[in-house]
Structure 1
């Protein structure tokens, strides 16, 4: 099985090295791996290059986020050939047999645009998600219950933590919208893929683990900001004239900011407020420095 793998790195060389090490131990698949460094401020590039010189390193001059970083890797993969592309977080792990399972599923039905495994928490083994729902038509987008029966579960969207992507779909539909920067860009691409006739699925016969290790400050500010703001970008792209849905998310986002403020979570409240403002007025792309520089 031919396989291309794209892994992002941002100041986390050890996670990335361990992720590559896991795949280096595979016996059947010999994947071509691209590591995309999003302008790390440490010595990540040197560490990765020294440990795994065969890995193809792409070094971005600026932090392009998940969307831009993944696009640079997928562009390189598409230029190389037509093998399936595995998007894999550097803090996620997936076994060779699981990847083979996903690859066989894609080969059996090329109408799948995305196929992801079950995602479990690395330390506890608890189920994290069985795919995702449309984030602008559902408050809770993660699917948390295992289905009965069919090993293939069609879903509205998938997680970008570990997902096999059909290269034919990318050539037809296009890559991730880099205005998202981080969060919801995969869901938006799933919506575009669906309009072009490609489906998203979870193969419950395969699984991957994910270890969430981001700092609390990032989760209370940047995560909140991008999750809230990027719903408005999906609204602009796919529900432009759905006024009730737009007004709902304006009200919800402002209510969230107020609730967080009442709970004493001032950084999160400010992030939610700025996300609401930017979403309504169309300020998208990378806002890391601005958000983190707001006295949070």
Structure 2
């Protein structure tokens, strides 16, 4: 008679999470409620695959919200057709990461107190890992935000982030590894790739700041949450993966621009009197512009320069079309009604 097959790694983590859930009072095995928010922008295939991964979940009962950020490739129609179970919200303009997520966050908060999982459509987190994060949220009322250890989807052994550090005090804001012997530890922020938030934290702290448009809004939210008494922590029993190669085309222009610019927005909001920090990031951005230009990366150099200039001038919000046009050497397109600029 053949022996029983060994459980997979995800199954072993799920069994462990079930034991933890019983230990903290889940004896009735009532499914845990969860609101999952997935943002889509011209990437229907990724979003559909992301949604389908929830189909086998049994211990967590997710309500899945998909926000389409005015995709121009028929994404919303494809998602509606392939994933009729999701709650699909269609924006008439690209509201960025913050604005897109905020629309669903408002809907979720009006419906109840389920924790909210903000999830990139090119990221993956298993049920057992979400259960571990939910356990931490339930067991520790001082915790407002929980994240997993984040690994590369193309190289599962490569740790991308073990939480985040203050973005104006550190050149590299992603922590390279967890501290030894600490299964749950505080960090300055949780990356928005996979981010579990207590509903009450959003109610007390407020929504994501849409002036950032893309990147910087979760460090800002976690900073504001800390001022309200909430910790942001990494749960090391939870793992997630992020396939960063899916968005590699934008990392030399838009990503660079928003990272540079939004540091200045963060400074303006939270460190207005730290003039030397403004000086440091100005000199750093100038040096980076020169380095990229000399290294033959003209598009990235232009994006860095634009980020610096806009950061100083206070030009925030969505600048996708303008930045892409400037980096390609083409004139900026005339925006139609409902488009961001």
State the TM-score, normalized to the length of structure 1. 0.98
Q: Does structure 2 retain, via aligned residues, the 8 Å contact 1:110–1:166?
A: no
In the aligned structure 2, how far is the partner of 1:11 from the partner of 1:204?
A: 32
Aligned 8 A contact 1:93 1:210 in 2: yes
Question: 1:157-176 to 2 correspondence within 5 Å?
Answer: 157-176=189-208
Shift of 1:291: 0.4
Shift in Å, 1:99: 0.8
> Following TM superposition, where does structure 1 have runs of at least 4 consecutive aligned residues deviating by more than 4 angstroms?
none
Partner of 1:15: 46
Task: State how far apart, in whole Å, the 2-side matches of 1:109 and 1:66 are.
Answer: 28
Cα contact 2:253–2:303 (8 A) shared by 1:
yes
Which residue is equivalent to 1:187?
219
1:58 corresponds to 2:89: yes
2:25 is matched with which residue? none
Say whether residues 1:283 and 2:315 are aligned partners.
yes
Given that 2:303 and 2:327 are in contact with CA atoms closer than 8 Å, whether structure 1 keeps it comes out as no
- What's the secondary structure of 1:294's corresponding residue? helix
DSSP-derived class of the 1:224 partner: helix
- Could you tell me how far apart the structure 1 residues matched to 2:270 and 2:178 are? 29
1:249 deviates by 0.7
Within the candidate set 285, 298, 305, 1:253 is matched to 285
Deviations 1:258-281 (A, max 9, x none): 111111111111110111000011
Distance verdict in 2 for CA 1:217–1:91, change over 3 Å = closer
- The 3 A distance-change label for structure 1 pair 295 and 148 is closer
Aligned to 1:27: 58
1:81 aligns with 2:100: no
Candidates 39, 48, 61, aligned match of 2:70: 39
CA distance in 1, matches of 2:322, 2:281: 23
1:97 and 2:108 aligned: no
SS of the residue corresponding to residue 40 of structure 1 reads: coil
Query: C-alpha distance in 2, partners of 1:52/1:264?
Result: 44
CA-to-aligned-CA distance 1:101-147 (integer Å, 9 cap, x gap): 11111000121111001111112111111000001011110101232
Q: What is the Cα deviation at residue 54 of structure 1? A: 1.5
Query: Which runs of 5 or more residues in structure 2 are unaligned?
Result: 1-31, 329-341
Larger radius of gyration: 2
* In structure 1, distance between residues paired with 2:260 and 2:76: 32
Shift of 1:15: 0.6
- Give the secondary structure class of the aligned counterpart of 1:23: coil
How has the CA–CA distance of structure 1 residues 109 and 233 changed in structure 2, closer, same or farther, with 3 Å as cutoff?
same
Distance 1:217 1:90, change over 3 A: closer
Shift of 1:153: 1.3
Work out the CA distance in 1 between the residues paired with 2:134 and 2:248.
36
Does 2:257 match 1:225?
Answer: yes
May I ask how many residue pairs the two structures share in their alignment? 296
Asked if the contact 1:158–1:187 (Cα under 8 Å) also holds between the matched residues in 2, the reply is yes
Aligned to 2:237: 205
Task: Give the TM-score taking structure 2 as reference length.
Answer: 0.85
Per-residue CA deviations over 1:230-274 (Å, capped at 9, x if unaligned) read 000000000011111111111111111111111111111111011
Structural RMSD (CA)? 1.0
SS at match of 1:128: strand
